[in-house]
């Protein structure tokens, strides 16, 4: 069966030009708009800092831009503890943007990240980024960050 997008005679013909095309859009991260008269609603609205409908790729490329990394750096992906983890630029940036990280998953996830990080052996410091709302509780987040820091990954952030 022929793909309609691969035929030059098709109206939907999209040739593979060998490069990525990006379109400028609004940020994937929700802007803080406080409503002093309704603080409870403001806090509730910002439980998840990422806008609905945005993919992990959307957020990952925004992180590249915000951290000043080239959009052409290699990106690898592995499944660790059932979650997609991305290593950008040979491990300069490692990101897990899973929607849920339980207490039970925090330690194996951290150890998997450390093992992969050691294999990549990045030339400079590594930044690890996680979705803040993914953590089941503060204990899961604190444990994961502490394990990473004990193994030399000092820059741990959440969005």
Q: What tens digit of pLDDT does each residue of 90-114 get?
A: 999 999 999 999 999 999 999 999 9
CB atoms closer than 10 angstroms to residue 6:
12
* CA 110 – CA 93 distance, rounded (Å): 14
Q: What tens digit of pLDDT does each residue of 66-80 get?
A: 889 998 899 999 999
- pTM equals 0.74
From 102, 95, 96, 94, select the one nearest 135 (Cα to Cα): 102
Please report, for the chain, the start and end positions of each structural domain, with discontinuous segments joined by +. 36-158
């Amino acid at each position: 069966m022929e793909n309609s997008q691969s035929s030059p005679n098709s109206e939907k013909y999209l040739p593979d030009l060998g490069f990525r095309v990006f379109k400028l859009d609004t940020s994937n991260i929700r802007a803080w708009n406080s409503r002093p008269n309704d603080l409870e609603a403001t806090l509730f609205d910002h439980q998840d800092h990422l806008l609905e409908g945005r993919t992990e790729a959307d957020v990952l490329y925004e992180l590249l831009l915000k951290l000043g990394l080239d959009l052409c750096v290699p990106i690898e992906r592995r499944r660790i503890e059932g979650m997609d983890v991305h290593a950008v630029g040979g491990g300069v940036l490692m990101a897990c943007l899973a929607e849920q990280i339980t207490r039970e998953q925090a330690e194996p996830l951290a150890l998997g990240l450390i093992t992969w990080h050691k294999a990549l052996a990045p030339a400079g410091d590594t930044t690890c980024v996680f979705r803040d709302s993914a953590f089941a509780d503060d204990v899961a987040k604190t444990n994961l960050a502490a394990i990473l820091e004990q193994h030399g990954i000092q820059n741990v952030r959440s969005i």
